[in-house]
Structure formats: structure tokens, C-alpha cells
């Protein structure tokens, strides 16, 4: 191996499940080794700032515990006993088992399963070719976006909005339902720039006083699942005090006398009783946004991880429509730009190869694997899983069911991964996967406007192979053929760019990105919203949302509120389970990723739960002692940490630690329900009622 005489810096892109998709400058030491990772200063959104997790990426890519060779299970499932085998042995066994299952149980008994372990489309979405080529079960993607996206689209008709860089030109930035300091640091970059350069106010709305709230001028700590109540009370005040932009609403929205009458009952006193906020706090927030035309609402995922998440998103979004903040550069509301790109990914997904099989809800994997007939859509059991870069045994809801399903002796599981995760430990075959610097791909920013190219920069250790390579090899051995199987990953990027009308990769690579930003006026819907009548909808047509996005109803449409509103359908607290638990993101982890790195383990060495000191006093719990949380789904052991920055009756468990990090071996998602969230499915990770007791 030839060492690089002088380390050089190369451009890449963070591949992880975060809307920022940061542009990176990576120091290359030699053909296999990286040094420092920094945010690209010349990228206007990244602006030289990245999270500490990715800045320490050398810890992860060069970790001694990386998987580097194919493995076959030799002990009982979950025992962690594996032996090294060759790639040919692994592929021969996988293909033989799959072909036998196709013959005896039909192709729908095989379920390829993945999510956002990498956000690169070539490496992530190429797995879809297995479904299209072989008729394997499809995946209904609900676990992250299933409640947030419909709520935004219900108002605007499209998942897009004003460029997040324009936050820097705002007079008020409302960061609602996202702890940006921990999860999207670049949001803070632009919000703080607005404060420094314009004297803008920063408002943070969340369920506990987190790092983002510590940097805010106004911090509203409300009860989980009550964001919709705050939003409609704010609209009540805007109308009551003459702060609503009636001219804008008349031209651009479906505002009606019926909606105004509906809001007349949503007083700040009514909302205070629901949210736990003081009337004065609600009034002050309403006055601020009502008197600050250039207010930018940055709406996150946190408050949509509730059973009323879609309606809460729609209600919060509606405040911007009532103030008319969309009219002003630096104003409006934003959640994701994922609906603004017109990408042709048909070659990546092999869409022309066939229709695929039944569609199974990824959030219900526990029910699917334990034979729930509704979750199985009335079909037969799943007999084989192909898990790509995701860790459902740790991150899926109702973990007890998921683990029971994975433990089935008649389930053949293949996991393609970078580390021996909780899911990989329950596999029959484990395949070693490349990391983002070891293959080619492109990445689209949901939280911004650019599509970035990430080239292969270093060689992978051992026998690691990319997702794209593995799927190609499986298809060849299964007897399928398609043009996609004859391309390299770089050629696939180039072909996708050509099909999408973006030009040639060689030219794009020189710049490193494609800017998909809409013109400012279009992004602010100056010519009208995306519905056929061009009006924002305070009275959403949820069935139109379902048709637009291909969503599947999980409830009767008549159950949905008529107007923007608070919908009281969160999981009930009662005498048996009197606390409301939210499993919020940690600054140190990204879902279950980074839990293996030394820096993250040092910052957050064990699972903890924040408990209000007054609640702890009533329960006789001391600070720092072991406690157990439980409900009808199971029990989880953690350490209690006193924290007064939330309302009483609320518990916060930050981050997803490996199951083995908990004293009883049960991870935090044991407590989370997998019942599909209305209207179109999803997982309510921040909406769980539990009891707590000292050990």
C-alpha cells in the first residue's frame, strides 16, 4: 500500500439520517485511513459546522469492532456465536434458502427490510430491485415520516418551503419540535446569524428544556402531544387582537366563517389547561409572531411522534398561513424539501422489473413476524428477512414482539451491516458492509436545497461490500437480469443524474452538488399553494393527501378533525401508568448509530431517564439511583436523573442505547406501541404512558 506523502482533503457528504446532509471536508491519510472530518466552509448551509458525532468519524470507520468478513451463526439465535465463511458460501446459502422459500411459501414470504442507515439513494434504494424482480413483499415506509409529512402536505399540497438559509434573514425564528442543537446543528447556525445580524428573536417550543431552548429568547415547555392546542389558541388570539392577515387569507387560503367560529372556542385559557403553559406565555408568543411579519417557522419531527402528530403538524403550520408570514423573504414555514426534487430513480429501484408483492408496514415488524393476520395483510407468514443497514431489534416499536419474531427458528435472517448490532446478533448470516467513504453515491437534502455527490475516497477493510454490490450479486445468483445489474455504483449515479435532467456526473463532480432550490417566491407560494385551487387549507382534505402520496388509511376518514385543531387521541395516562414518556434524540447518538464509538460512550455511558424532582420525591426516588419503567408492553431498567426543565408527569429518555446496556437487557423501545398512528400509519415514539419505580 502506498502512503499519501502529504495528507489531502477531499469533499464528501454525511450519509446519516439527518435533514442537514452536511457537506464534509475529509482528511485522507492514506488509501485506507482518514483523519479529521470538518464541515465544508464553502457550503452555504453547512457553513463549516457539523455535529460532534461526525467530526469524530475516524472513531467509527476505523473501529476495531467493525464487521469485515461474512459470518454464519453456529450457536442458538441471539447467542452471538458465529463462524467466518467466504462470500461464496454466504451467497450460496442465502440463494438456496430463498429459492426454497419462494417454491414452498411463495415470494411474499421474503421481506427485504431497510431504512435510512444510509441516505444515499444508490446504496439505500437499490434493495427495491429484489422486490420488483422476485415479487418479494414491499415495505410501507412509516417509521419516521408517516405522521409528519401528511400534516404538512395537508396544508400546502406539497412537501417544500422557503430555503432554510433564509432563516438568517428573519426577524423571528420559531424552532418547533426539534432539538436542533442535538439533531440539526445547522438550523442553529442560521437562526443565530439572524439574531446577531438582525436582532431576531429565537423561540423554541418543546417538551423539555433542552440545548436548543437554552439558546432561545422565548422557551415554551409544554406537555407532550399538546402542540395543536397551542397552535389553535395562537390563531384564536391573532383573530381576537386583529393580528391575523385577513387580506392574505382571503387571497391565499380557504379561511371561512366556520373556521373562525371553531377557533372562537380555542381560547388561551382552554389551551393553558391542556398544554400546561401559562396564559401569559401563550399570549406573548401569539403577539410576537403576530407583530413580526418575517417569522420563519422551522417545524421538526419531535412533536409529530405522537398519535395526533399529523394534525399537530397541520395546526402549527397553519399559524404561518394566518399571519401571512409566507409573503416575506425570511418568513413562512418549513419542514422538509423532500417533495421539491423531481428525481428519476427508476433504474436504481428497478421499477420496470415487476410490481412486487404485498406491502407490509415497517413499523409493525414485530406484529408481522409474530403472525398478526392484519399486519400480514391476510397473507402467509414471513419466512425470510434481508435487513440492510437498520437495526429493528433495537429501534422498532414494541420491541418485545420484534425480538420474539426474530427468535423464531423457522425465520431465516440475513443482515448486511457495519457492526454486530442487536439485530445482527439474531441473524443466521451476517454480511460486512461498507461505510459512506468506501463507495460512491449521491445524497439529497430534505432539510435544504442541494443534492450532493459523495465519491469513494478510501478502500474498505477486510471483505466489506457495498449494498449495491450485494444486491446485484444476489439478483444474478437468483437468475434475474436487468440493466441496473451491469452498472457500477458510480455509473448508477451518472445514469440517475442523466435521467433526471441534471447533466453529466463528470461535470457535476467538479462542483460537488446540484442546487435544486426553488426561486424564493415559488418557495414561499407567492403564486399560490400546490392544491388545485392554489389555496392553503385550514380545512384539510386528508383523502386528497392520501391520493397524492399513495398513503394507506388506517382509520375511518370521518374520525379526523374537520379543521386545524388539537386532537385528543394520545395514549391515556391513568392510575396504573401515570407518567408520559418520550424517547427523545440524544446529542451523542443518531438512533442506534454511534452507540459503539468511544466519544459517544464517554458522553452518555449508560441509559438514563429524566425525572422531575417533585415526582421523584413523591415516589421516594433519589437522584442517580436505578429505576424501572414499565407498561403492558414490558419493563426497561435505567438510571434516574433529576431534571426540573419539564412539566410534572413527564419522563424523558434520551437516545437509543443497545439493549444490552440496560440492566434487564430490554431496550427503551420495549415500551413503545406499534399500533398504526392515524391517519396513515407511523410510530408514536414520544407518546407512551408508563409507571416508574425505584429498584
| Confidence tier at 5 by pLDDT (50, 70, 90) | low
For 93, what's the count of Cα atoms within 13 Å in the CB-facing half-sphere?
A: 16
Joined together, the cell numbers standing for residue 572 give: 391515556
How far, in Å, CA of 597 to CA of 185, rounded?
20
Task: Please write the tens of the pLDDT for every residue from 407-423.
Answer: 999 999 999 999 999 99
* DSSP assignment of 139-182: EE--TTTTTHHHHHHHHHSSS--S-GGGGGG-SEEEEES--HHH
Nearest to 347 by CA among 485, 476, 450: 485
**Residue 312 dihedral angles phi and psi, to the nearest 5°:** -65, -45
Q: What pLDDT score was predicted for residue 586?
A: 82
3-class SS of residue 564: coil
pLDDT-derived band at 2 (thresholds 50, 70, 90) equals low
What digits encode the pLDDT tens for the residues 629-670? Answer: 999 999 999 999 999 999 999 999 999 999 999 999 999 999
CA-nearest of 504, 429, 425 to 86 is 429
Whether residue 136 contacts residue 108, with contact meaning beta carbons closer than 8 Å, is answered with: yes
Cα–chain-centroid distance for residue 464?
Answer: 26
Q: Which three cell numbers stand for residue 259?
A: 373556521
Query: What value does the mean pLDDT take over residues 517-531?
Result: 97
Using pLDDT thresholds of 50, 70 and 90, give the confidence band for residue 3. Answer: low
Q: What is the pLDDT of residue 388?
A: 97
**Residue 84 cell numbers, joined:** 467466518
Residues 607, 631: Cα–Cα separation, whole Å: 18
* DSSP class per residue in 302-342: GGGSSTTHHHHHHHHHHHHHHHTGGGSTT-EEES--TTT--
- Is the per-residue pLDDT at 285 higher than 70? yes
**Helix, coil or strand: residue 36:** strand
CA–CA gap between residue 307 and residue 300 (Å, rounded): 16
Mean pLDDT of the chain: 95
Candidates 485, 348, 464; CA nearest to 417 is 464
Instruction: Say what angle helices 467-478 and 489-499 make with each other, to 10 degrees.
Output: 90
In whole angstroms, how far apart are CA 490 and each of 331, 344, 484, 506, 509? 39, 16, 12, 10, 11
pLDDT value, residue 1: 44
C-alpha 613/C-alpha 640 separation (Å) is: 10
Q: How far is CA 205 from CA 157, 214, 306, 655, in A?
A: 25, 11, 15, 20
DSSP string computed for 622-661: PTT-EEEEEETTEEEEEEEEE--SS-TTEEE--S---GGG
Residue 24 has pLDDT above 70, yes or no: yes
Mean pLDDT of 446-456: 93
Query: CA-to-CA distance for 117 and 186, rounded, in angstroms?
Result: 21
How far apart CA 298 and CA 144 sit, in angstroms, is: 17
CA dist., res. 60 & res. 608, Å (int): 24
pLDDT at 595 over 90: no
- Tell me which residue of 120, 675, 658 sits closest to 426, measured CA to CA: 658
pLDDT in the model for residue 273: 98
Q: How are strands ordered across the β-sheet holding 441-444?
A: 441-444, 450-454, 513-515
Q: Is the pLDDT of residue 97 over 90?
A: yes
Nearest to 348 by CA among 113, 124, 17: 124
- Average pLDDT of the segment spanning 177-197: 93
Distance CA(375)–CA(43), nearest Å, equals 44
Q: Kindly state the average pLDDT of the residues 455-473.
A: 98
Residue with cell 406491502: 359
> Cell 408527569 identifies what position?
649
- Residue (of 49, 314, 339) closest to 189 by Cα position: 49
pLDDT of residue 479: 97
Give the rounded percent of residues in the chain with a pLDDT score beyond 70: 99
* pLDDT of 590 above 60: yes
Residue 174 pLDDT grade (very low, low, confident, very high; cuts 50, 70, 90):
very high
User: Of 389, 509, 526, 382, which is closest to residue 457 (Cα–Cα)?
Assistant: 509
- Backbone φ and ψ of 14, nearest 5°: -65, 130
Three-state SS letters, 396-431? CCCHHHHHHHHCCCCCEEEEEECCCCCCHHHCCEEE
CA nearest neighbour of 300 among 202, 428, 446, 424? 446
Task: Give the integer Cα–Cα distance in Å for 90 and 430.
Answer: 9
Contacts of 251 (CB under 8 A, 6+ apart): none
Q: 159 with 274: CB under 8 angstroms? A: no
End-to-end CA gap in the chain: 55
Other CB atoms within 10 Å distance of the CB of residue 473 = 18
Question: Tens digits of per-residue pLDDT, 38-72?
Answer: 999 999 999 899 988 899 999 999 999 999 999 99
DSSP code of residue 20: T
pLDDT score at 593: 81
Amino acid at each position: 500500500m502506498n502512503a499519501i506523502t502529504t495528507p489531502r482533503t477531499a469533499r464528501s457528504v454525511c450519509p446519516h439520517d439527518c435533514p442537514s446532509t452536511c457537506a464534509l471536508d475529509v482528511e485522507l491519510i492514506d488509501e485506507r485511513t482518514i483523519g479529521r472530518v470538518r464541515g465544508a466552509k464553502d457550503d452555504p448551509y453547512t457553513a463549516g459546522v457539523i455535529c460532534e458525532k461526525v467530526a469524530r468519524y475516524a472513531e467509527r470507520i476505523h473501529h476495531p469492532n467493525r464487521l469485515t468478513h461474512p459470518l454464519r451463526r453456529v450457536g442458538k439465535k441471539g447467542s452471538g456465536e458465529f463462524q467466518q465463511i467466504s462470500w461464496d458460501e454466504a451467497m450460496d446459502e442465502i440463494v438456496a434458502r430463498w429459492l426454497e422459500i419462494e417454491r414452498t411459501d411463495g415470494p411474499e414470504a421474503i421481506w427485504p427490510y431497510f431504512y435510512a442507515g444510509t441516505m444515499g439513494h444508490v446504496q439505500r434504494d437499490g434493495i427495491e430491485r429484489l422486490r420488483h424482480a422476485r415479487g418479494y413483499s414491499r415495505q410501507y415506509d412509516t417509521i419516521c415520516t408517516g405522521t409528519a409529512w401528511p400534516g404538512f402536505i395537508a396544508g400546502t399540497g406539497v412537501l417544500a418551503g422557503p430555503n432554510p438559509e433564509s432563516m438568517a434573514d428573519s426577524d423571528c425564528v420559531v424552532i418547533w419540535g426539534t432539538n436542533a442543537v442535538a439533531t440539526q446543528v445547522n438550523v442553529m447556525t442560521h437562526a443565530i446569524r439572524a439574531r446577531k445580524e438582525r436582532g431576531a428573536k429565537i423561540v423554541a417550543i418543546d417538551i423539555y428544556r433542552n440545548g436548543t431552548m437554552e439558546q432561545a429568547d422565548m422557551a415554551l415547555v409544554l406537555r407532550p402531544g399538546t402542540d395543536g392546542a397551542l397552535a389553535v389558541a395562537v390563531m384564536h388570539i391573532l383573530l381576537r387582537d386583529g393580528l391575523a392577515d385577513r387580506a392574505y387569507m382571503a387571497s391565499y387560503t380557504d379561511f371561512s366563517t366556520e373556521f373562525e367560529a371553531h377557533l372562537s372556542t380555542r381560547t388561551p385559557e382552554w389551551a393553558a389547561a391542556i398544554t400546561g403553559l401559562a396564559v401569559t406565555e401563550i399570549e406573548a408568543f401569539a403577539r410576537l409572531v403576530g407583530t413580526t411579519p418575517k417569522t420563519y417557522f422551522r417545524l421538526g419531527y419531535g412533536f409529530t411522534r405522537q398519535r395526533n402528530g399529523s394534525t399537530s403538524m397541520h395546526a402549527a403550520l397553519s399559524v404561518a398561513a394566518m399571519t401571512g408570514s409566507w409573503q416575506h423573504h425570511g418568513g413562512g414555514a418549513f419542514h422538509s424539501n423532500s417533495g421539491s426534487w423531481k428525481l428519476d430513480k427508476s433504474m436504481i429501484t428497478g421499477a420496470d422489473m415487476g410490481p412486487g408483492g404485498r406491502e407490509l408496514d415497517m413499523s409493525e415488524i414485530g406484529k408481522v413476524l409474530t403472525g398478526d393476520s392484519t399486519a400480514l395483510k391476510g397473507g402467509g407468514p414471513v419466512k425470510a428477512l434481508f435487513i440492510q443497514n437498520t437495526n429493528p431489534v433495537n429501534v422498532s416499536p414494541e420491541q418485545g414482539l420484534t425480538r420474539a419474531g426474530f427468535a423464531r427458528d423457522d425465520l431465516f435472517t440475513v443482515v448486511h451491516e457495519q457492526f454486530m448490532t442487536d439485530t445482527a446478533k439474531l441473524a443466521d448470516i451476517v454480511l460486512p458492509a461498507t461505510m459512506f467513504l468506501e463507495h460512491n453515491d449521491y445524497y439529497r437534502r430534505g432539510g435544504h436545497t442541494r443534492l450532493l455527490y459523495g465519491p469513494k475516497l478510501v478502500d474498505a477493510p477486510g471483505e466489506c461490500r457495498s449494498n449495491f454490490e450485494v444486491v446485484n450479486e444476489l439478483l444474478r445468483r437468483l437468475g434475474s437480469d436487468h440493466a441496473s445489474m451491469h452498472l457500477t455504483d458510480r455509473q448508477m449515479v451518472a445514469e440517475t443524474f442523466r435521467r433526471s435532467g441534471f447533466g453529466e456526473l463528470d461535470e457535476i463532480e467538479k462542483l460537488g452538488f446540484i442546487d435544486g432550490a426553488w426561486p424564493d417566491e415559488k418557495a414561499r407560494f407567492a403564486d399560490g399553494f400546490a392544491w388545485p385551487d392554489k389555496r392553503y387549507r385550514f380545512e384539510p382534505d386528508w383523502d386528497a393527501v392520501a391520493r397524492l402520496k399513495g398513503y394507506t388509511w388506517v382509520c375511518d376518514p370521518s374520525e379526523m378533525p374537520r379543521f386545524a385543531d388539537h386532537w385528543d387521541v394520545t395514549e391515556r395516562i391513568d392510575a396504573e401508568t401515570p407518567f408520559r414518556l418520550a424517547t427523545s434524540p440524544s446529542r451523542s447518538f443518531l438512533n442506534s448509530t454511534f452507540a459503539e464509538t468511544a466519544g459517544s460512550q464517554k458522553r452518555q455511558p449508560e441509559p438514563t431517564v429524566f425525572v422531575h424532582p417533585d415526582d421523584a420525591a413523591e415516589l421516594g426516588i433519589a437522584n442517580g439511583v436505578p429505576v424501572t419503567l414499565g407498561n403492558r408492553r414490558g419493563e426497561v431498567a435505567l438510571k434516574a436523573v433529576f431534571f426540573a426543565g419539564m412539566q410534572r408527569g413527564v419522563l424523558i429518555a434520551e437516545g437509543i442505547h443497545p439493549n444490552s446496556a440496560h440492566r434487564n437487557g430490554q431496550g427503551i423501545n420495549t415500551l413503545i406501541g406499534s399500533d398504526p398512528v392515524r391517519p396513515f400509519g407511523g410510530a408514536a415514539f414520544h407518546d407512551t404512558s408508563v409507571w416508574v419505580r425505584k429498584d
